[in-house]
Structure 1
Amino acid sequence: MLPDTLSSGGAAPATAASDSLPSTVPMVSAAVAVHVLALVGDLSMGQPPAQSQRAACLAAQVARLDGAGPQGILHARLVALLRWSGCTANAAGFAHLLGDDVGGREAMLRQALPPDHPLTFSNIEPLARIHCEVAGDVAGMLGLPAEVEAGLRHVWEHYDGGGAPQQLRGEQVPAVVYYTTLAGDLDILSRTHDVPGALRMVRGFGGSKYPAPLAERVVGQAGAWLAELERQEEWPDLSGSALALPAHEVPLSIVADLIELKLPWLTGYSRRVSELAARAAALAGLPAAQRDQLVRAALIHGIGRVSVSNSVWERATRPDAADWERIRLAPYWTARAGALIPALRAEAGLASQLYERLDGSGYFRGLDRETLGHPARLLAAAAAYAALCARRPWREALTAAEATALLAQQAAAGLFDGDAVRWVVAAAAGEGAPLPVRKGLLSEREVEVLRRISLGESNKEAARVMQISPSTVRTHVESIFRKLQCSTRAAATLKGLNLGLI
């Protein structure tokens, strides 16, 4: 069984949303959110952390070659950066089909799946539909141009109609999709094979994935583009230019919500940790700047988790040695985000300490009480408490009293800071802040159904808990989809969180 708090090797992720705490959601620029989501997508797809950045540079070149103006080039950059933004939502489906959602999709992208792989159009189409709907919704939540949203909603379509989810063809497919797909193929295939081999493969995909004339023109220029990419030591600063990413502010919680679509039982976990940490920090008297940093760190702490396959996180038994090596790297990738996204450097550094423990037994750095400050101690306690109070695939949720007793025991053993635990417990009891006000878009019964399906429960499971019939649950789900204007459970979950419904 995965441990809930670190006692002899590490902590597991967890939990569900709660409406017992207020929402404290900081804002970031849309550009920062796009860069974070690009990194999350790269890690989810088994790619190096700058893959989407490289693809965005190449997509801009393809768009320019095809005669696109500054806005069209910007749209290509944005779609390339966000084209993986729906991949957390269908991770469970790929894990079921390929055994490893991260490694399996990495092999798929480099055309290296074995000949007997199980992927067919019939089982890929539902996963593509989930991906595209969520990616399009993310673009809408980020306030990006309609052309970007349209591109992301069709990002898996092919020129010959063999793509998904709608089997569009030719000019029915937004041109930005062709720019993005071509760019992604160029980068991934040149890196995993060689440049001549990549160009042959791109030419071969002409007429099927993208227009053959466009592929031929790109092949003639691609060698120089790829060489230029290799010479770049840092990404060009496009601020102030027509190609600058949008600077308006968006909620940082969008990042947390998207990450947690990977594992439905995590829904709302980072929000709850941030709310607990905010209250606890206020009760402890931390300065406002530290409180804000703490809340932001809680919302991005799961970045590195997406690099680990669902097959590890969903295991009902204790992870083996190989699993632990992968789990220990999760906070490393969160820390790495700080180096790649300077605007979140301090928050990413703090977030990467969430699984450290005062006795030095945590990961990934093995920090101890000499180096862990008050914010890190509060963050660790808040995350552990939120995890213990939520159901896991391998156990039911602990009561508040049980979670409090266990954390107090582990604090006495030297893992957690005793004062931090006490502040978090007080925060969880509701001290220090008012209750949230929920919106009335859905009925109370529909909110409960949405909450249940957002945690990965089937209609039958939700019906059993709610003591209603599965057909009644199905009716509520259909109503929820209609009111939220979506067609998949992942998209409903994302919208429900964004609207404060769950």
Structure 2
Amino acid sequence: MGDLSMGQPADHSRRVAWLAQRAGFELGLDAQACECIYQTAVLRWVGCTANATEVSAAITDDVLGRAAVMALRPQDMGLLISPSKVVRHTQEISAIHCEISVIIASALGLGEPVTAALACLFETWDGNGYPRGIQGDDIPIAVMLVVLCGDVEILSREYGVAQAQQFLQLRADAVYPRRLVNLVSSRMQSWLNELNVPGDFTHPTSEGAADSVVDLSLLADAIDLKLPWLTGHSRRVAQLAATVAAQTGLPLAVQNSVVRAALLHGMGRVAIPNAVWNRTGPLTHADWERVRLSPYWTARVAGQIKSLEVEADIASHAYERLDGSGYYRAARNAATSPAHRVLPVVTTWLALLSPRPWRAAMDQDAAVDHLQKQASLGRFDPKITDALLGSARSSNWAASNALEARPTQSILTARECEVLHCISQGQSNKEAARVLGISPSTVRAHCENVFRKLDCKSRAAATLKAASLGLL
């Protein structure tokens, strides 16, 4: 997921992890240290969705712009802010990224060495990095090796090995220590040759997050962070998909796969810049082509995990239609199983009931009419559609996105939950104040209490923690 957010190939982080761990072994580091290096590399970009809003406020394309930065092509960044504001903006962006990365690593049960490294991802050897400006040996060696090998993977792909080596020397003793640059440069060609041999390059020490059973709700929440107006969307899709799959009589194992697929279905969305998703008018042809590829990227990335191959396939059918008018496969009736037909109906229903940057939320009656029409046109499975609408009649799904006080059995007060709901949707303090009928200063005070109680420093972190606690 993180690789797509950074505009990188889907296997970028795994390749960096292999290179960085190889360098660690070459340095004589023990197995535990090398495992830390690997996990740091794999999780390096896991916080990218959390700061996409802030990044897209600074550059025109939060995906390709970041790719340009990584490839040392600043002229292609598309900067939207004045150069004088870059430092402050960069510090905020890096702080959000690191905070989210640490939260996710902690939730995965990874140890202190990994979380300590993830807190320093943007620090540099000379002390000019972010967010804390630490330097030298105060920065974990895992960070230095991961950043260095990340540059190796990108720059060798962009410019070739010889020029990549020159770039590394220019950055030596500034971004990372020269001794590591010299070591990695001397091995670069042979390591890349080995890495590029077709086959699986998974690391040999398969401990930690690589083999752990991960709660996909955590991944879903991280995916939804990219666009504040999608906060909680993947969880709602999974909840409704579970109901519909059960009511249509799918086998229990298939029901479970559908629910897991629902939590994954938005993964490919991170490959498309926020400027496209937030557009209030019609999409250009080029933008629409990018949107159509989002389920392809879901299949591509989630499918890399062998235990999720079935779920990745189901998830990537979320925008297909039985008449072949969907995307990305344009799959028709005969090409889809009942398991593949649940998410298209569920995602459409919940999207219709929710506001989007380009339209207001649809009322429930209009949404019912829309679904029934789509089913009559042969685009949705009638049995799935009837099951969903039956559920809608028995429980008020239209209110699932409505602002309401959360359960009192919570570390937050009802008002704090309301404020959190507003800011998690991307509303400013003034906007939240207008919605809640209170003053901006009162909203600010509630935000401070929320951050203190949830032990976080950013909107994204508060959203992620609150989602995991069932507060959103």
**Aligned-residue offset at 1:437:** 6.8
Trace 1:181-196 onto structure 2 (pairs within 5 A). 181-196=147-162
Structure with greater contact order relative to length (CA < 8 Å, sep ≥ 6): 1
Q: Residue in 1 aligned with 2:331?
A: 367
Instruction: State whether residues 18 and 202 of structure 2, in contact with CA within 8 Å, keep that contact through their aligned partners in structure 1.
Output: no
Instruction: State whether residues 70 and 242 of structure 1, in contact with CA within 8 Å, keep that contact through their aligned partners in structure 2.
Output: no
Q: Residue in 1 aligned with 2:388?
A: 424
| 2:24 alignment partner, one of 63, 70, 75 | 63
Trace 1:340-419 onto structure 2 (pairs within 5 A). 340-419=304-383
| 1:153 alignment partner, one of 119, 134, 137 | 119
Question: For the structure 1 residues 165 and 194, does the alpha-carbon distance in structure 2 shift closer, same or farther, using more than 3 Å as the test?
Answer: same
Question: For the structure 1 residues 113 and 309, does the alpha-carbon distance in structure 2 shift closer, same or farther, using more than 3 Å as the test?
Answer: same
Trace 1:411-490 onto structure 2 (pairs within 5 A). 411-429=375-393, 439-490=409-460
SS of corresponding position for 1:411: helix
**Aligned-residue offset at 1:432:** 13
| 1:165 alignment partner, one of 131, 136, 147 | 131
Q: Residue in 2 aligned with 1:250?
A: 214
**Aligned-residue offset at 1:177:** 0.8
Trace 1:215-234 onto structure 2 (pairs within 5 A). 215-234=181-200
Structure 2 CA distance for aligned equivalents of residues 470 and 485 of structure 1: 22
Instruction: State whether residues 356 and 380 of structure 1, in contact with CA within 8 Å, keep that contact through their aligned partners in structure 2.
Output: yes
**Aligned-residue offset at 1:246:** 5.3
Amino acid at match of 1:293: S
Instruction: State whether residues 407 and 414 of structure 2, in contact with CA within 8 Å, keep that contact through their aligned partners in structure 1.
Output: no
Structure 1 CA distance for aligned equivalents of residues 145 and 447 of structure 2: 36
Instruction: State whether residues 279 and 432 of structure 1, in contact with CA within 8 Å, keep that contact through their aligned partners in structure 2.
Output: no
**Aligned-residue offset at 1:396:** 2.2
> Could you give the per-residue CA deviations for residues 193-234 of structure 1, whole angstroms, max 9, x where no partner exists?
110111111122111111122222222222221221112422
With structure 2 as the length reference, what TM-score do the two structures score? 0.93
Question: For the structure 1 residues 243 and 298, does the alpha-carbon distance in structure 2 shift closer, same or farther, using more than 3 Å as the test?
Answer: closer
Instruction: State whether residues 53 and 226 of structure 2, in contact with CA within 8 Å, keep that contact through their aligned partners in structure 1.
Output: yes
Q: Residue in 2 aligned with 1:500?
A: 470
Amino acid at match of 1:110: A
Matched, 1:45 2:6: yes
With structure 1 as the length reference, what TM-score do the two structures score? 0.88
Structure 1 CA distance for aligned equivalents of residues 408 and 392 of structure 2: 19
> Could you give the per-residue CA deviations for residues 150-177 of structure 1, whole angstroms, max 9, x where no partner exists?
1111100001111101111112211211
Structure 1 CA distance for aligned equivalents of residues 46 and 385 of structure 2: 35
**Aligned-residue offset at 1:461:** 0.8
Structure 1 unaligned spans of 5+: 1-39
Structure 2 CA distance for aligned equivalents of residues 479 and 244 of structure 1: 34
**Aligned-residue offset at 1:451:** 1.1
Q: Residue in 2 aligned with 1:325?
A: 289
Q: Residue in 2 aligned with 1:106?
A: 67
Structure 2 CA distance for aligned equivalents of residues 211 and 160 of structure 1: 9
Structure 1 CA distance for aligned equivalents of residues 334 and 100 of structure 2: 43
Structure 2 CA distance for aligned equivalents of residues 136 and 149 of structure 1: 5
Instruction: State whether residues 378 and 424 of structure 1, in contact with CA within 8 Å, keep that contact through their aligned partners in structure 2.
Output: no
Amino acid at match of 1:351: A
Structure 2 CA distance for aligned equivalents of residues 126 and 116 of structure 1: 18
SS of corresponding position for 1:133: helix
Structure 2 CA distance for aligned equivalents of residues 319 and 452 of structure 1: 27
Structure 1 CA distance for aligned equivalents of residues 356 and 78 of structure 2: 31
Structure 2 unaligned spans of 5+: 401-405
> Could you give the per-residue CA deviations for residues 82-122 of structure 1, whole angstroms, max 9, x where no partner exists?
11011111112222222001110011100012189646222
Instruction: State whether residues 120 and 130 of structure 2, in contact with CA within 8 Å, keep that contact through their aligned partners in structure 1.
Output: yes
Structure 2 CA distance for aligned equivalents of residues 143 and 448 of structure 1: 30
SS of corresponding position for 2:126: coil
**Aligned-residue offset at 1:141:** 1.1
Amino acid at match of 1:78: Q
Aligned residue pairs total 460
**Aligned-residue offset at 1:236:** 3.8
Instruction: State whether residues 283 and 432 of structure 1, in contact with CA within 8 Å, keep that contact through their aligned partners in structure 2.
Output: no
Structure 2 CA distance for aligned equivalents of residues 432 and 95 of structure 1: 35
> Could you give the per-residue CA deviations for residues 427-464 of structure 1, whole angstroms, max 9, x where no partner exists?
3445699x997751111111111111111111111111
**Aligned-residue offset at 1:339:** 3.9
Question: For the structure 1 residues 430 and 124, does the alpha-carbon distance in structure 2 shift closer, same or farther, using more than 3 Å as the test?
Answer: farther
Structure 1 CA distance for aligned equivalents of residues 312 and 408 of structure 2: 30
Structure 1 CA distance for aligned equivalents of residues 284 and 351 of structure 2: 21
Question: For the structure 1 residues 438 and 270, does the alpha-carbon distance in structure 2 shift closer, same or farther, using more than 3 Å as the test?
Answer: farther
SS of corresponding position for 2:57: helix
Q: Residue in 2 aligned with 1:126?
A: 92
Larger CA deviation: 246-255 vs 363-372 = 246-255
Structure 2 CA distance for aligned equivalents of residues 115 and 376 of structure 1: 40
Identity of aligned residues (%): 42
Structure 2 CA distance for aligned equivalents of residues 407 and 307 of structure 1: 28
Instruction: State whether residues 438 and 501 of structure 1, in contact with CA within 8 Å, keep that contact through their aligned partners in structure 2.
Output: no
Matched, 1:210 2:189: no
Question: For the structure 1 residues 269 and 227, does the alpha-carbon distance in structure 2 shift closer, same or farther, using more than 3 Å as the test?
Answer: same
Question: For the structure 1 residues 183 and 234, does the alpha-carbon distance in structure 2 shift closer, same or farther, using more than 3 Å as the test?
Answer: same
